[in-house]
């Protein structure tokens, strides 16, 4: 399973992702994590910078929030960003990825998933053969459960040489 946590791409944050490259690779749908990817756990609403980014990406991509967070938070982010959401998506389980693919009648080849965690965002996407994109977490504001997963992440990043922190894709 640990090979399945290697991301296809690794960037510092959602602002430094090479979206043109995704577009060139026929990616038309982006599944976007919320917590510590768009905003940290304490940010009740997306920041202006995130709103502007999503707005500019809409001409090239269909963007969907795909988050394990609770529905009220996902709904608030979705509303302010003007995009749909799947809350309680139980990443890395396949269930809601399948629901999304069915809802949008889309092929996995045309989808990329963006998030800050190997054991939810990257593992879930890789299991579905969806392009996986890892970004660094925004802050240390996160649940105890996530903090524990980070220990496992960091151990396996070293053990399996998955990424080099700070060495980002172009």
Q: Based on CB atoms, which residue is closest to Mg ion, 60 or 157? A: 157
Query: Least distance from C-beta 125 to Mg ion, angstroms?
Result: 13
CB 62 within 8 A of CB 89: no
Task: Give the number of C-alpha atoms closer than 13 A to the C-alpha of residue 79, restricted to the C-beta side.
Answer: 8
| Residue 26 zone, left/alpha/beta (φ > 0; ψ -120 to 50; rest) | left
Task: Classify 119 as helix, strand or coil.
Answer: helix
Query: Least distance from C-beta 107 to Mg ion, angstroms?
Result: 25
Residues 102-121, one symbol each (x = binds Mg ion by CB under 5 A, - = not), give --------------x-----
CA separation for the pair 87, 105 (Å, rounded): 19
Query: Least distance from C-beta 2 to Mg ion, angstroms?
Result: 19
Query: Least distance from C-beta 12 to Mg ion, angstroms?
Result: 15
CA separation for the pair 17, 69 (Å, rounded): 23
Q: Based on CB atoms, which residue is closest to Mg ion, 60 or 69? A: 69
Q: Scan residues 3-62 and list those touching Mg ion (CB under 5 A).
A: 33, 35-37
Edge to edge, the sheet with strand 131-135 lists 9-11, 131-135, 111-115, 29-32, 62-66, 85-86
Query: Least distance from C-beta 65 to Mg ion, angstroms?
Result: 11
At 10, which helix (H) or strand (E)? strand 9-11
Q: Based on CB atoms, which residue is closest to Mg ion, 36 or 156? A: 36
* Count, residues near Mg ion per rule CB under 5 A: 5
Q: Based on CB atoms, which residue is closest to Mg ion, 38 or 57? A: 38
Binding site for Mg ion (CB under 5 A): 33, 35-37, 116
């Amino acid at each position: 399973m640990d090979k399945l946590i290697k991301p296809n791409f690794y960037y510092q944050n959602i602002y430094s992702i090479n979206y043109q490259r995704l577009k060139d690779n026929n990616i038309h749908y982006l599944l976007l994590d919320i917590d510590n990817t768009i905003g940290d756990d304490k940010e009740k609403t997306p920041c202006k910078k995130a709103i502007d980014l999503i707005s500019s990406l809409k001409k090239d991509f269909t963007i969907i929030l795909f988050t394990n967070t609770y529905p009220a938070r996902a709904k608030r982010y979705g509303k302010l960003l003007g995009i749909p959401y799947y809350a309680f998506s139980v990443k890395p389980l396949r269930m809601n990825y399948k629901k999304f693919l069915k809802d949008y009648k889309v092929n996995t080849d045309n989808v990329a998933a963006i998030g800050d965690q190997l054991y939810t965002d990257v593992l879930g996407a890789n299991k579905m053969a969806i392009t996986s994109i890892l970004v660094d977490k925004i802050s240390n504001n996160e649940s105890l459960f996530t903090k524990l997963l980070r220990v496992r992440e960091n151990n396996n990043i070293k053990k399996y040489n998955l990424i080099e922190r700070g060495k980002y894709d172009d």
